[in-house]
Amino acid sequence: MILFVRNLVVKDFWLKLFAFALAVLIWLTVKFSIRGEGSFSTSILGHSSDEIVMVIPVHVPATDPSAFVVQPPEVQVTLRGDPKLLKSLSDGDVQAQVDIPNAESAEGIRQVRIILPQGISYTRLSRDVVDVHAAPKTQ
């Protein structure tokens, strides 16, 4: 019995160790893919060179933007594109806006629209909806 257990572990040890490591690597890759976090290597190393993360304020395009309060006031966007183009982005190049059809129906949960320069796309948005309220009137 002891000889059987010893042979079970020791015989072809390196092949068994390699198979175990490969199984763990496949399991981690599938786990990260299901959660939507990209590949295992991207999760370990961070974002790839053609991706950046920006925090952008949400704007309300209206005649008086200070008449509205947006919660949360910022969204986090993961951008993808040419690395040179991503490095040259300035703060105003990427915008997050809330479309309001008219002032009467402005309050409520609204969809966030991301405006990007040509050649850039976004892969992830922290919140795709925000809550819009009328700002308290000051006198």
Tell whether 139 is covered by a domain. Answer: no
Shared domain check, 36 and 53: no
- Of the pLDDT bands very low, low, confident and very high (cuts 50, 70, 90), residue 14 is very high
34: Cβ contacts below 8 Å, ≥ 6 apart: none
Shared domain check, 100 and 127: yes
Shared domain check, 59 and 34: no
Domain span at residue 58 reads 48-134
- Of the pLDDT bands very low, low, confident and very high (cuts 50, 70, 90), residue 136 is confident
Copy the structure tokens of residue 97. 């806006």
Tell whether 119 is covered by a domain. Answer: yes
- How does DSSP assign the chain, residue by residue? -HHHHHHHHHTTHHHHHHHHHHHHHHHHHHHHHHTT---HHHHHH-S-TTEEEEEEEEE--SS-GGGEEEESSEEEEEEEE-HHHHHT--TTTSEEEE--S-GGG--EEEEEEEE--TTEEEEEES-SEEEEEEPPP--
- Of the pLDDT bands very low, low, confident and very high (cuts 50, 70, 90), residue 122 is confident
Copy the structure tokens of residue 39. 């590949």
Tell whether 111 is covered by a domain. Answer: yes
24 has pLDDT over 90: yes
Contact between 42 and 28 under an 8 Å Cβ cutoff? The reply is: no
Shared domain check, 64 and 123: yes
pLDDT digits (tens, 9 = 90+) for 67-115: 778 888 899 888 888 888 888 888 788 888 887 776 566 678 888 888 8
Tally the domains of the chain. 2
Stronger pLDDT, 139 or 24, i.e. the higher one: 24
pLDDT digits (tens, 9 = 90+) for 38-75: 555 555 555 556 778 888 888 887 666 677 788 888 99
